Amino acid sequence: MRIAYHVMSAPGPLGLLFLAATENGLRYLEFLDKRSIKRAVDSHRDENPGAEWEASLLDLKPVVDQLEGYFCGALTQFDVALDPVGSEFQLQVWNALREIPYGETRTYGQIAKAVHQPRAARAIGLANHQNPIAIIIPCHRVIGSDGSMVGYGGGVPRKRWLLGHEAHFARLSGASLDLFAGAGVAPTNRVASGDGPPLGVARLTSATQAEPSRASRAGAASRPPTASRAATRTPARPAASSTSKTSPRAGVKAAARGSTGSRTRVAKTKRSGR
């Protein structure tokens, strides 16, 4: 069996993502953290005995393109063939996670009911934590019954960022007005607190801070300048008369002639005095 792998960069606190796929579909999507690529590959060799691992962007480019679309807010639903390795119960839970709409959340209890195991909320949490394909199988959309950010293998900062990212673009598209509406709970901590708008999107300002209309801008442009501005304007320099234009060389010659004439008059005066 051949497994192609690739590492891509993700925004915010997500960092580097390790992707690996078989000929049947994507098998792993993990946060690389501080691991080397070799360690990431070695951690899956026991699950894939005899597999030949090969670095290949070409094989994983469709997945990379969809992830980049997701990160810029242009894509809200993935269309990627998946090939995860897990028990029957785990596969059932992961399929239920894929049914959670973009921009919404569910509790562990709700997922337990969805897989017809209403008393297995703790087992649901364990399967959620062991999800091998992050983001695309959206285990980050599962929260505690009190709205707390718990049970995410990638860490709370990443879970908070992903939920804030989806809530932001869901609001812009009108897909969902309340991130926690599906879960039926209020959050106990802010989503994306302190992170600002994801992906460099400008914050939405209130109506009082909206950009002035074209009519108001046109009216402001047509108003005459105020008295203070008119008074402070620098007066134009008067144009020099044509008679005052003298070349530097002509001025030097005139000065030389004047000094020579004065010396001649002084000499004549001395001779006449004698």
153, 127 contact by CB (below 8 A): no
208 is written with which tokens?
């009082």
* Averaged pLDDT of the chain: 78
Token pair, residue 66, equals 């969809």
The secondary structure of 7-46 as a DSSP string is EEEETGGGEEEEEEEETTEEEEEEE-TT--HHHHHHTTTT
pTM over 0.75: no
**DSSP SS3 for 58:** helix
| 94 and 62 together in one domain | no
| pLDDT value of residue 152 | 86
pLDDT at 6: 98
Q: Is 139 a catalytic residue?
A: yes
Amino acid at 2: R
Residue pLDDT, tens place only, 186-229: 444 444 433 444 443 433 333 334 444 454 555 555 555 554 44
Neighbours of 197 (CB within 10 A): 14
Catalytic residue among 19, 41, 134, 139: 139
Q: Identify the sign of the CA torsion 215, 216, 217, 219.
A: positive
Same domain, 113 and 189: yes
Q: How confident is the model at residue 256 (pLDDT cuts 50, 70, 90)?
A: low
Q: Are residues 150 and 93 in the same domain?
A: yes
Q: Which of 18, 36, 71 is the last residue of a domain?
A: 71
Which carries the bigger pLDDT value, residue 25 or residue 217? 25
Asked whether residue 256 is domain-assigned, the answer is no
User: What is the per-residue pLDDT for 61?
Assistant: 98
Q: What pLDDT score was predicted for residue 86?
A: 96
Burial class of residue 132, CB neighbours in 10 A (0-12, 13-18, 19+): buried
Task: Please tell me the predicted confidence (pLDDT) of residue 171.
Answer: 92
Indicate whether 180 and 139 sit together in one domain.
yes
* CATH (domain of 187): 1.10.10.10
pLDDT-derived band at 255, boundaries 50, 70, 90: low
DSSP string, 41-72: HHTTTTTSTT-EEEE-HHHHHHHHHHHHHHHT
Do residues 52 and 2 touch, judged by C-beta distance below 8 A? yes
Quick one: what percent of the chain has pLDDT higher than 70? 63
Asked whether residue 255 is assigned to any structural domain, the reply reads no
Residue with tokens 């995860």: 84
Mean pLDDT of 165-176: 83
**Residues 89-148 pLDDT 10s:** 999 999 999 999 999 999 999 999 999 999 999 999 999 999 999 999 999 999 998 988
Look at residue 183 in the predicted model and tell me its pLDDT.
Answer: 59
37 found inside a domain: yes
Domain boundary among 150, 178, 200: 200
Pair 157, 119 in one domain: yes
Is pLDDT of 21 > 90?
yes
**Token duo for residue 174:** 């009108």
Domain-located, residue 226: no
Asked if the structure places residue 254 within a domain, the reply is: no
Domain co-membership, 66 together with 105: no
43 in a structural domain: yes
Q: End-to-end CA distance of the chain, in Å?
A: 129
Same domain, 56 and 159: no
Residue bearing tokens 């005066």: 269
Task: State whether 161 and 117 are in the same domain.
Answer: yes
Is residue 188 domain-resident? yes
> Domain with 14 in it: what CATH number?
3.30.160
Domain contains 40: yes
Q: Give the residue numbers spanning the domain of 18.
A: 2-71
The pLDDT-based confidence of 77 (bands split at 50, 70, 90) is very high
pLDDT at residue 173, as a whole number: 78
The full length of the chain comes to 274
Same domain, 64 and 93: no
Report the pLDDT averaged over residues 81-95. Answer: 97
Provide the domain count of the chain: 2
pLDDT tier for residue 182 given thresholds of 50, 70 and 90: low
Residues 102 and 180 grouped into a single domain: yes
